[in-house]
């Protein structure tokens, strides 16, 4: 078949051959090699508008921005259709769906055959991380979705400069994506094409391949994001001795001008993006953003862990984002952004729940219906998103693009725990910190009848994203201290912004006030802040936290820092069940840490 080829094809023969092989399988009408230029991005937006996928927003209110509405059946990651296709099921572990590689390839090849007829196959060369960074990695995504190409332009570094750095190397992640809706030439294309029957998001860690079929949304289709940056990269990190983590990276500067860099792992709905873009309430302190979602960390020549944000943009959850909760995120999306499944105002702007104090009197909701306050349905989809360049963030740190990365002094782990877990706790050492990361959890509330106090474990916030057996993943974390001097490793902390009092209200105000906890952590890394040893770790005393100007009753602060020994003991059985999932692959030292915790707790609860 003769196909139109546009753009400048790579000179890398291995890449060219793979693209030709995939084109033979998928049978597109044309192939376009992306150059990553602003002109190309503008063409992509115009193409989405012309096809009905997107509509322009008012250029005065939201310059160079569009609103996209997906198919109502394609609005989020589909974890039940996400697979790790490692050589054996045991390699994938109990937290992943698994199919044998040959079996999955057989299924997918049948679906991919002819799936791009009537469409263009776009070749997207992208770098996860600053182009040429020793911590960065290169991937190639093939897709038939304009929406995917436009989003990848923002979320990664795309174009010919990536091919130049790549040269003749065969060390790149191969990603193939299709919406799974071929066109015969007679029917009109859907505004949001997706396959209603077949959806697969599959990963082949041994061969560094990603294959995605049927969905056009978010992490299902933007293969550089969770698929490459976490599921495949976590395996690369294990094999090569580094860390690929679901973590924010922030820069914290003291009034004295001293700088430290901190990473943090938080499950969804635990304030990760808010923390990454935090505006401190304590005078003289400054927070700047390196990244809000993913961190890749490698040991430098100095023995420290150096981190980059492998992404170039933010793919943020819109509902709940406001000038109160996260003004810097909202300001980041003021222009040059793609909004997905948000509501639209009468004057051509976007809106979502909690964006403003007052709800607009009338809107068009995310599936094109008239909407009024009190109508009984949300205006924006709960997973509505904004895609915006990271460089537009008002508090983006200058070194966020530094190819060397930034040296990490501390790592935070957190969950949503209304009881038991104190505001902040410092691990005794690295292995104790890995134990705390391995039991990260959020707690069910009264909204789940009969399940109050049950823990939903999400170790290191990686449960949906670890590309191999999580027991081995814990072992990989434990092995880090063998790669450098223990004194060079970051300090590890467990934080909890969500502790509640007997009245059911949050004890800690959160948001900008979290800077008070960051200050204590900063000073602990400096050796200038005190802590007391407790059965669960090292905690500040109420007097150790800077509470000047904070309207917080002393009894609330005491409760926030109280060690609830009986509460911790009551969770041990749940932790044991959680650990039992990993069988013999669970590192012995984690069971030893749990036993030691129980002994310490019983010693103070008598």
Cα-only R_g, the chain: 24
CA distances from 258 to 90, 286, 287, 421, 487 (A): 46, 10, 12, 30, 19
Task: Tell me the C-alpha distance between 141 and 10, whole Å.
Answer: 14
8 A C-beta contact, residue 79 and residue 173: no
CB 494 within 8 A of CB 427: yes
Number of neighbouring beta carbons within 10 Å of residue 311: 23
Q: Where are the alpha helices (DSSP H) in 457-564?
A: 470-479, 515-526, 554-560
Reported as half-sphere exposure (CB side, CA atoms, 13 A), residue 531 has a value of 24
**Residue tagged 């001008």 (tokens):** 257
Quote the tokens at residue 326: 């996260």
103 neighbors 95 (Cβ within 8 angstroms): no
User: Which residues is 539 bridged to in the sheet?
Assistant: 532
Tell me whether residue 270 is one of the annotated catalytic residues: yes
**For residue 352, what are its two tokens?**
């979502």
Of 255, 234, 260, 246, whose CA–CA distance to 407 is shortest?
Answer: 260
Phi, psi of 491 (to 5 degrees): -80, 150
d(Cα 432, Cα 438) in Å, to the nearest integer?
A: 10
User: Which run of H or E residues covers position 15?
Assistant: helix 13-26
The residue among 311, 308, 309, 305 whose CA lies nearest residue 242 is 305
Q: Which residues contact 228 (CB under 8 A, 6 or more apart)?
A: 128, 137, 139, 173, 175, 210
CA 257 to chain centre: 30
Which among 578, 600, 601, 602 has a CA at the least distance from the CA of 590?
578
Cβ atoms within 10 Å of 584's Cβ, excluding its own = 7
CA 475 distance to own-chain centroid: 22
Residue with tokens 């860690």: 205
Q: Which residue has the tokens 């940056």?
A: 229
| Positive or negative torsion for Cα 145, 237, 260, 417 | positive
> Which of 176, 153, 175, 157 lies closest to 165 in space, CA to CA?
157
The sheet with strand 343-344 has its strands ordered as: 350-351, 343-344, 363-364, 370-371
3-state secondary structure of 601: helix
Max CA separation in the chain (angstroms): 80
The one catalytic residue in 34, 85, 115, 270 is 270
CA distances (Å), origin 300, targets 124, 242, 406, 476: 30, 11, 10, 18
Question: Which residues touch 277 (CB under 8 Å, ≥6 apart)?
Answer: 287, 289, 292, 326, 328, 329, 332, 393, 395
Q: In the structure encoding, which two tokens stand for residue 357, read together?
A: 């104090």
**Which candidate, 179, 412, 388, places its Cα nearest to that of 295?**
412
Catalytic residues: 270
């Amino acid at each position: 078949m003769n196909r139109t080829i546009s753009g400048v094809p790579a000179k890398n023969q291995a890449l060219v051959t793979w693209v030709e092989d995939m084109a033979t399988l998928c049978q597109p009408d044309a192939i376009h090699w992306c150059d990553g230029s602003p002109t190309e991005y503008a063409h992509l937006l115009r193409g989405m508008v012309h096809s009905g996928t997107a509509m322009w927003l008012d250029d005065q209110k939201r310059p160079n921005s569009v609103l996209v509405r997906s198919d109502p059946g394609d609005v989020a990651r589909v974890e039940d259709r996400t697979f790790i296709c490692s050589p054996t099921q045991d390699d994938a572990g109990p937290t992943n769906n698994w199919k044998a590689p040959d079996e999955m390839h057989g299924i997918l090849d049948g679906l991919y055959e002819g799936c791009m007829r009537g469409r263009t196959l776009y070749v997207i060369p992208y770098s996860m991380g600053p182009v040429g960074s020793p911590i960065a990695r290169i991937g190639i995504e093939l897709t038939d979705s304009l929406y995917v190409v436009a989003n990848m332009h923002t979320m990664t570094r795309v174009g010919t400069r990536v091919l130049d750095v790549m040269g003749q190397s065969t060390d790149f992640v191969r990603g193939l994506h299709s919406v799974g809706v071929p066109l015969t030439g007679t029917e009109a294309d859907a505004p949001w094409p997706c396959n209603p029957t077949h959806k697969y998001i599959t990963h082949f860690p041994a061969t560094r391949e990603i294959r995605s079929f049927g969905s056009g949304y978010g992490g299902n289709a933007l293969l550089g994001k969770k698929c490459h940056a976490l599921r495949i990269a976590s395996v690369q990190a294990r094999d090569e001795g580094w860390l690929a983590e679901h973590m924010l990276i922030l820069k914290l500067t003291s009034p004295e001008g001293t700088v430290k860099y901190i990473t943090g792992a938080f499950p969804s709905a635990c304030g990760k993006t808010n923390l990454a873009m935090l505006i401190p309430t304590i005078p003289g302190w400054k927070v700047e953003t390196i990244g809000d979602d993913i961190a890749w960390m490698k040991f430098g020549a100095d023995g420290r862990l150096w981190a980059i944000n492998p992404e170039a943009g933010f793919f943020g959850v819109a509902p709940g984002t406001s000038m109160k909760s996260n003004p810097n995120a909202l300001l980041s999306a003021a222009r040059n952004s793609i909004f997905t499944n948000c509501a639209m105002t009468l004057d051509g702007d976007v809106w979502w729940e909690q964006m403003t104090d007052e709800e607009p009197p009338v809107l068009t909701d995310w599936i094109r219906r008239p909407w009024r306050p009190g109508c009984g349905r949300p205006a924006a989809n709960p997973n509505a998103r904004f895609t915006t360049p990271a460089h537009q963030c008002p508090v983006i740190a200058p070194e966020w693009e530094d190819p060397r990365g930034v040296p990490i002094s501390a790592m935070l782990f957190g969950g949503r725990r209304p009881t038991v877990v104190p505001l902040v706790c410092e691990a005794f050492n690295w292995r104790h910190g890995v134990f705390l990361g391995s039991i990260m959890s959020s707690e069910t509330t009264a909204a789940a009848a009969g399940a109050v106090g049950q823990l939903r474990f999400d170790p290191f916030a990686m449960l949906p994203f670890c590309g191999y057996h999580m027991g081995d993943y814990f072992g990989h974390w434990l092995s880090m201290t063998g790669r450098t001097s223990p004194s060079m490793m970051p300090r590890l902390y467990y934080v909890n912004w969500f502790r509640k009092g007997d009245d059911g209200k949050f004890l800690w105000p959160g948001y900008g006030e979290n800077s008070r906890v960051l200050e204590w952590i900063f000073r602990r890394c400096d050796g200038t802040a005190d802590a007391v040893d407790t059965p669960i770790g090292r905690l500040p005393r109420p007097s150790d936290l800077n509470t000047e100007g904070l309207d917080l009753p002393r009894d609330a602060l005491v409760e926030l820092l109280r060690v609830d020994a009986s509460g911790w003991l009551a969770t041990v059985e749940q932790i044991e069940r959680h650990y039992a999932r990993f069988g013999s692959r669970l590192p012995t030292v984690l069971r030893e840490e749990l036993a030691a915790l129980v002994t310490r707790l019983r010693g103070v609860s008598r």
